[in-house]
Amino acid sequence: MNGEGTEVAATLVPARRSVPARIGVAAHGVLRLLPSPRSTPFTFYYLGVLALTTLLLHYGKPTVVHRLLRLSSTDAVNLQRHPIQALLLSALWLQDAHWLIYAVIFTAVIAPLERRVGTRWTILIFASGHVLASLATELPVLVAVRTHLLPIVDARLIDVGVSYGFFAVAGVLLILLPTPARWWVLALLNVSIVAIYLGMDPTSTDAVVTVVGHVLSLYIGVLGWLPWLRRRGLVASLHLPWQIGQWRKGIITPSAASVSAS
């Protein structure tokens, strides 16, 4: 009897994976998180384009690079003369040459949203932040320059980058998170916006435009897309890794972990 019971109990205990097997499983999990042409084409190809333009920033002829940046800038003058060109091209450049940092950020923020809502919606969310925040910040600069409240040089400040689109995507992604993680991420994003502002000259027009654009784009994602997320039942629908483990162990239920904000 005891021998049979011991034998049955042994068959119920799962065999422990070897160290190489566990490393292999972990590596496979990490690789699945990376952008790919099939699962996250927008994130993957966008990072590829940004890599090419970053190489151009590094190794291109300075006069040519400056001219391209000038043509791509969403400054007040460009938005008045050729708005579509400026809004499109400005999103193809990084404000600095730290492409690897952006690759990590895109992998952590944009790729997960693309997997959750699809490529088309991710592009629309990114574009909403980029376009609306650019127009909302630069058009008042144009009016202020025309009314002599700001010097004319402020209408030609080079303004390129992906930060407005990124903050809109981040705002949508945090609504997908369960509480209280959502509020911690929101606080972190607001702190990062303030840190970026303080890292510039806080009294300059460029810094003021940038911080206002970052705040607007973040809350375009948080508030502007909230009704759409609610209609599709996506609020608090992104499960965190430790919650998945708890569900499998029966410690908590999905409904207890994902409380809808609606």
pLDDT in tens, the chain (262 residues): 555 554 444 444 455 666 565 555 444 455 667 889 999 999 999 999 999 999 999 999 999 999 999 999 999 999 999 999 999 999 999 987 689 999 999 999 999 999 999 999 999 999 999 999 999 999 999 999 999 999 999 999 999 999 999 999 999 999 999 988 999 999 999 999 999 999 999 999 999 999 999 999 999 999 999 999 999 999 999 876 544 444 444 444 444 344 333 3
Residue 257's pLDDT is 41
Report d(CA 188, CA 170) in Å as an integer. Answer: 11
3-state helix, strand, coil in the chain (%, to 5): 75, 0, 25
Residue 17's pLDDT is 62
> What is the domain partition of the chain in residue ranges?
40-257
- CB of 161 closer than 8 Å to CB of 92: no
- CB of 128 closer than 8 Å to CB of 224: yes
Report d(CA 187, CA 181) in Å as an integer. Answer: 10
Residue 23's pLDDT is 55
- What is the identity of the amino acid at 226? L
Peptide bond into 35 cis (omega under 30): no
Report d(CA 175, CA 258) in Å as an integer. Answer: 11
Cα separation values, 128 from 33, 71, 254, Å: 25, 21, 31
pTM of the model as a whole: 0.82
Cα separation values, 45 from 12, 48, 95, 114, 122, Å: 47, 5, 19, 13, 13
- CB of 86 closer than 8 Å to CB of 159: no
